[in-house]
Amino acid sequence: MDNLLIGKRIRALRNEQGVKLERLAQHMGRANSHLSAIENGKRDAKISDLKAIAEFFGITIQALVENKEPTGRDALEIEMAKIQRGPLFESLGIKPIPVRKSTSDEVLSTMITLHNELERMHSDRASTPEEARRANAELRETMRARNNYFPEIEKVAKQLLGAVNHSAGPLSQRLTADLAQHLGFTLHYVGDLPHATRSVTDLRNMRIYLSRSTTPGSDPRAALLQALASFALGHREVKTYAEFLEQRIEINYLAGALMLPEASAVKFLKNAKEERELAVEDLRDAFAVNYETAAHRFTNLSTEHLGIPVHFLKAHSSGSVAKAYENDGVLFPKDALGTIEGQTVCAKWSARQVFLEQDRLAPYHQYTDKPNGTYWCTSRIERGSQGDFSISLGTPFETVRFFRGRETKRRGQSTCPDDSCCRIPPQNIAAKWAGKAFPSAIVNSSLLAALPKGPVPGVDQIEVLQFLEARSD
């Protein structure tokens, strides 16, 4: 039920009956500000609040919260409030205007029309990869709501590890193979895996095909664990891009949960928290995984088990976001549709600053004052097949006391998304080069191309079937 709508209804009832805010608040046993926040839709009304209000006006709670479409002025004000909190408005960086009684209906409806038209233009421009971008943004919301912790997948991991008698510590290559055997698969390493695939699973003959060559920087267990994860989770062919993304998240989650089992990883992290020595490097070393896997797994467990909110950011050396997750309120760069991938990270953040360091092996830590608070982040550069990426893990100032590296003297100031922060060149240089600098961009084809249709986006189904046919008995 919409907070704004309930708030409006309460205020309307009060005005109709000439009841002062103070009087109703008093009846509820609440501060005036509390009621005011409810009426403005900025606070959830508790059941006890609703009960007291309904009782005061002699109506049922049902009547107060029923899902009736608002009309006239109410509808305009609610629409306007939603718009002013939305990603398009935020991305424009303009200050919300207060909607007063004296604001005319015409002004409101013109602003709403302008907004909707602008949104339409943005989504037209983004129409090809739009589905992917929307699905990404929605999925991030879901992960945030769950603190990036999926108990049902932890359970599957525990059962699988139990089946191969893995009790603690890193998951060896041999145990990974045992796991495949337990699930009924034979493993086949080939030199001609279809393009854009990490593995191909043949459910007719219960075989998993993997590449004979390994990609530098990637974990040799990862491709197999992901194939097994997909099977163990009962994944079937997907119908939408959203389902594809969801499955990919689940597969990565289960693979991580197998390499860093919940029970032993939590024990390890709780110890480190107690010692105030939390460090992604230690988690990485204790479970023999790569840094990104360790940092990602940290975000699964940190809020659920350690009570620490975090953010995770993988950024290319060009500054563009490859992956991001947060439940600590940090504001990632966003476009009008709420998309974060592909946006440019603030140059003052540790995810960018770490690239300026000479010593790439030493851990990099930094405090950054951001518009909504101070955050501490640790960043590390990892080399991937598409270049250098920084992997960053951050937490608000309040929870940094548990992390190693908190005594760093490095500080940054970021006022992004304000353009003057890091997006406008110094005036003298800008003037000198005005109209005389023309770089040519490498077009990122994957951003422009429509996703090829087929069961797995980006993978040629014919090639996969020919591959399997050639090997089938």
Which structure tokens are listed for 24? 């109703």
Cα three-residue angle 52-55-57, rounded to 5 degrees: 115
Q: Within 10 A of 340 (CB to CB), how many other CB atoms are there?
A: 21
Residues 214-233 that bind Zn ion (CB under 5 A): none
Residues 344-403 that bind Zn ion (CB under 5 A): 346, 348
Identified binder of Zn ion from the candidate list 52, 54, 258, 416, rule CB under 5 A: 416
Closest contact distance (angstroms) between CB of 416 and Zn ion is 3
Q: 421 vs 456, which CB is nearer to Zn ion?
A: 421
Is 421 one of the binding residues for Zn ion (CB under 5 A)?
yes
Residues 248-277 that bind Zn ion (CB under 5 A): none
Only one of the segments 72-80, 111-119, 415-423, 455-463 lies at the binding site for Zn ion (rule: CB under 5 A); that segment is: 415-423
Closest contact distance (angstroms) between CB of 193 and Zn ion is 41
Is 321 one of the binding residues for Zn ion (CB under 5 A)?
no
Residue for token pair 């990637």: 218
- Give the Å distances, CA to CA, from 15 to 8, 11, 18, 147: 10, 6, 5, 41
Residue 361 is classified by DSSP as: S
Nearest to 140 by CA among 416, 393, 341, 345: 341
Is 456 one of the binding residues for Zn ion (CB under 5 A)?
no
Is residue 321 a contact partner of residue 343, using CB atoms and an 8 Å limit?
yes
Closest contact distance (angstroms) between CB of 366 and Zn ion is 14
- x/- contact string, 326-355, with Zn ion (CB under 5 A)? --------------------x-x-------
Q: 88 vs 345, which CB is nearer to Zn ion?
A: 345
* The dihedral sign for the CA sequence 266, 270, 272, 276: positive
Identified binder of Zn ion from the candidate list 6, 351, 422, 464, rule CB under 5 A: 422
Query: Helix, strand, coil % (nearest 5) of the chain?
Result: 50, 15, 40
Per DSSP, helices labelled H in 422-460 are: 427-433, 445-448
Residues near Zn ion (CB under 5 A), total: 6
- Give the Å distances, CA to CA, from 278 to 2, 43, 133, 373, 426: 40, 35, 34, 21, 39
Q: 178 vs 369, which CB is nearer to Zn ion?
A: 369
Which structure tokens are listed for 304? 């659920």
* The dihedral sign for the CA sequence 451, 453, 457, 460: negative
Closest contact distance (angstroms) between CB of 238 and Zn ion is 37
Q: 213 vs 420, which CB is nearer to Zn ion?
A: 420
Is 289 one of the binding residues for Zn ion (CB under 5 A)?
no
Q: 164 vs 351, which CB is nearer to Zn ion?
A: 351
Closest contact distance (angstroms) between CB of 377 and Zn ion is 14
Residue for token pair 């893990």: 393
Q: 293 vs 379, which CB is nearer to Zn ion?
A: 379
Residues 37-76 that bind Zn ion (CB under 5 A): none
Closest contact distance (angstroms) between CB of 303 and Zn ion is 26
Only one of the segments 52-60, 67-75, 237-245, 412-420 lies at the binding site for Zn ion (rule: CB under 5 A); that segment is: 412-420
The Cα 226–Cα 201 span in angstroms is 11
Radius of gyration of the chain (CA): 26
Q: 336 vs 422, which CB is nearer to Zn ion?
A: 422
Is 315 one of the binding residues for Zn ion (CB under 5 A)?
no
Which structure tokens are listed for 195? 């393009």
CA 382 to centroid of chain Cα atoms: 20
Closest contact distance (angstroms) between CB of 337 and Zn ion is 21
Is 313 one of the binding residues for Zn ion (CB under 5 A)?
no
Closest contact distance (angstroms) between CB of 93 and Zn ion is 12
Closest contact distance (angstroms) between CB of 341 and Zn ion is 18
The Cα 140–Cα 273 span in angstroms is 27
Closest contact distance (angstroms) between CB of 85 and Zn ion is 23
Closest contact distance (angstroms) between CB of 348 and Zn ion is 5
Q: Within 10 A of 296 (CB to CB), how many other CB atoms are there?
A: 23
Q: Within 10 A of 283 (CB to CB), how many other CB atoms are there?
A: 22
Which residues form the interface with Zn ion (CB under 5 A)? 346, 348, 414, 416, 421-422
